[in-house]
Structure 1
């Protein structure tokens, strides 16, 4: 077995110093930019009084967390004034570039106090669990609501920090059960509100211009290999080439292949498998797609999904369409308690070539045929998200925000 080379003395210290140096540069740039950023923020509108604040005080690298909720929040703003709170100019600039929501710049405790008091903030929404959330949580007046940035049975979904929020919006009964079982002294019935998956009710850019009659669209979205054995969920090495060969062998199938952006970072074998999958797809010219663009359009566009133990599986489950989840090849990969993973038969590497048969058993039909509904998938979708069809999630989400706003107004 080939062992890794030992790290040179001081290498870790040098890496840390380089990281600290980069962060020091960012802090200096933010300090210089702070004076003019508040004025530029007004280009997206004035910060409303008595509105809903989305507290996003973190660095721009975490913008994907806000992006998960951006469209539902912009839709909410049509009926209840909504704005984003940032404490860094670089994060604020990134939000302004992507969103139509007003941005409030509150750098430091004093600025945050003035914002909460002068703007009569009634509800605060949080899309993550970063430590800086507690700067806003100290204010007792607003109703504080944890949204999170995706449904999952993984450990981060049951953080003890949930106790700090007045309410947690969850997808469905699964989130309520998960928090109630994991957190001591947490009244899940009183402090969780099921809102479904409002992200599904919006259109997303990036879909290819494929005619509806050109084939069955199968989305293969493997996760990365992970940085430790317990999260080695990626299927590219164990399943990837055989699975994709089986898909493209059917002339009625068109593949959307979306590898995780970190694929190959920890494992050269996964990087090699990614190249091999791309080569298989390239044999058919431009019939298939290697996707590295925006996320979200795939939910409406694809007819079925093959993915790994990742948030993609839960997002897709909410669509109600055929789903296959791969079984990790590594015996060391941690498998969380999960109805999805316990009740949905996983696809082992030995059956990768039978993926179309499995999809067929879960409701995938011929092009243009009426899709059968898999009762198991329908039941799991209802457990994790409740009703998701025809704007139901958006209505529940906005009603839940309105109820929180009314609760704050009674103080």
Structure 2
């Protein structure tokens, strides 16, 4: 992965020290000074199509994982439709250019965005998050506005009242439609949601380690971050982390892939410390285990089982049919909606975190391919409810057909 660091500005750091500016203020200064140069680099990176599909991503590069969730499906869509990414910050734009083949349009303010929408006759706008800046694009009545989100889950984030602002919301399947219909007052879920499965599952992802198949069972521990408010405090690192990892490592046949969320520790020093503690535990076995901070997606095929939190990882893993353990949030204020996954699949409480390996074995770890037992049948049934048909590229076909329908709606 290429660096996305912006050029240093002469005297910028010295000025920041002299005037007591923080990191965010310095970042704004550097972005402002880099705007003209980045606009030219963006133009060289690819032509913005007319009448196309704009992926509106006006946020900081720390949230790039949200766009990364959709990058390969969007690049595949670009084979048949004009797709480009809209950014309003050079640092974010540099990161997108470094990772994606999609053209990037730079619209730093409302005037620039208005010119972009009018001059290129933007037909469809896609959104991968719920940031407040989305409303800068949502004010335009011409494009069809579609909320994608960046992962299927039953978290509070998935039932934001902001969904009412979009013309359509693409969901995985019946679960997403039911969730929004039940939670949002006056929201017609039948009319305004479209089931597209999980097109991410149709692509091959780089990054897997070179572990031989006979070197042991592979268990993926993927805790989410601590959240920035009590209602989304689902992260298990503090409550479960070390105990889960030590449980997995108690079997010398198990190899652990530990993938902390990219935002881990951003809001909680305790989670940052727990992350360090888990890494230290893994180091006891030298190079046997992996701390994974690379691309996302290869883990679905690579791992034999997964321990994760109430997050999109759990829902992505459903489609594999392999053993899954979801941790039980310890925060009393964490939003717990009605959810088939959370209600029907027993969760792992913090007091039992040390039994993670035993629970995975109960659900089939080490028993070979998924069979016809109750646990496998439950996972298949849940996968169908959350994503519908996913085999043989079905999700990609549904996603691209839904975008084509949105383009047709814009034309009318």
Same fold, judged at TM 0.5 (above):
yes
Q: Distance in 2 between matches of 1:22 and 1:268?
A: 18
Q: Which residue pairs with 2:381 in the alignment?
A: 379
How far is the alpha carbon of 1:158 from its aligned partner?
1.5
For residues 99 and 366 of structure 2, the distance between their equivalents in structure 1, rounded to whole angstroms, comes to 38
Deviation string, structure 1 residues 37-86 (Cα, Å, up to 9, x no partner) = 32211232111122111112223332222122111111110111111112
Distance 1:155 1:235 in 2: 17
What residue is the counterpart of 2:359 in the other structure? 358
What are the Cα deviations for residues 211-264 of structure 1, in whole angstroms up to 9, with x where unaligned? 122222111123345566655544345444443333223333221122345556
Partners of 1:252 and 1:60 in 2: CA distance = 38
Task: Give me the whole-angstrom Cα distance separating, in 2, the residues matched to 1:137 and 1:281.
Answer: 46
Match of 1:9 in 2: none
Counterpart in the other structure of 2:5: none
Residue 295 of structure 1: aligned partner:
296
Asked if 2 retains the 8 angstrom alpha-carbon contact of 1:196 and 1:386, the reply is yes
Pair 98,202 (structure 1): closer, same or farther in 2 beyond 3 Å: same
Equivalent pair of 1:127/1:149 in contact (CA under 8 Å): yes
Verify the 8 A CA contact 2:153 2:310 in the aligned structure 1. Answer: no
SS at match of 1:391: helix
* Other structure's SS at 2:118 match: helix
Normalising by the residue count of structure 1, what TM-score does the alignment of the two structures yield? 0.86
* Structure-2 separation of matches of 1:331 and 1:278: 27
> What secondary structure does 1:254 align onto?
strand
> Does the Cα contact within 8 Å between 2:56 and 2:127 map onto a contact in 1?
yes
> What does residue 402 of structure 1 align with?
404
> CA 1:408/1:284 → structure 2, altered by over 3 Å: closer, same or farther?
same
Distance in 2, matches of 1:122 and 1:264, equals 39
CA shift digits 1:98-156 (9 cap, x unpaired): 11111112233333333222222211111122222222222222211111111221222
Unaligned runs of 5+ in 2: 1-18
Q: Alignment partner of 1:178: what SS?
A: helix
- CA separation of 1:239/1:58 partners in 2, compared to 1, >3 Å: closer, same or farther? closer
SS of the equivalent of 1:125 reads: strand
Aligned-partner SS, 2:282: helix
Match of 2:151 in 1: 150
Which has the greater radius of gyration? 1
Identify the residue that residue 335 of structure 1 maps to in structure 2.
336
Instruction: Give the TM-score taking structure 2 as reference length.
Output: 0.85
Matches of 1:268 and 1:50, distance apart in 2: 46
Please say if residues 364 and 372 of structure 1, whose CA atoms lie closer than 8 Å, have aligned partners that are also in contact.
no
Q: Which moved more, 1:216-225 or 1:74-83?
A: 216-225
Q: Quick one: distance in 2 between partners of 1:274 and 1:23?
A: 24
Aligned-partner Cα distance in 2 for 1:165–1:229: 26
Query: Which segment is superposed worse, 90-99 or 245-254?
Result: 245-254
User: What residue is the counterpart of 1:220 in the other structure?
Assistant: 221
**How far, CA to CA, are the matches of 1:36 and 1:286 in structure 2?**
43
What's the offset of the Cα at 1:157?
1.4
Q: Displacement of 1:28 after TM fit?
A: 3.5
Contact in 2 for aligned 1:247/1:356 (Cα 8 Å): yes
Which residue does the alignment assign to 1:92? 93
Query: 1:30·1:90 contact (CA, 8 Å) conserved in 2?
Result: yes
Shift of 1:164: 1.5
C-alpha distance in 1 between matches for 2:143 and 2:228 = 39
Q: Secondary structure at the match of 1:150?
A: coil
Name the SS of the counterpart of 1:256 in structure 2: strand
Q: Deviations over 1:307-364 (max 9, x none)?
A: 1223322222233321001223455654333221111111234443433332233233
Match of 1:389 in 2: 391
Preserved contact between residue 199 and residue 399 of structure 2 (Cα < 8 Å): yes
Matched-pair contact (CA < 8 Å) for 1:319–1:388? no
Per-residue deviation, residues 371-409 of structure 1 (Å, max 9, x unmatched): 325111111111111122232211111111111111212
| Separation (CA, whole Å) in 2 of partners of 1:109 and 1:225 | 33
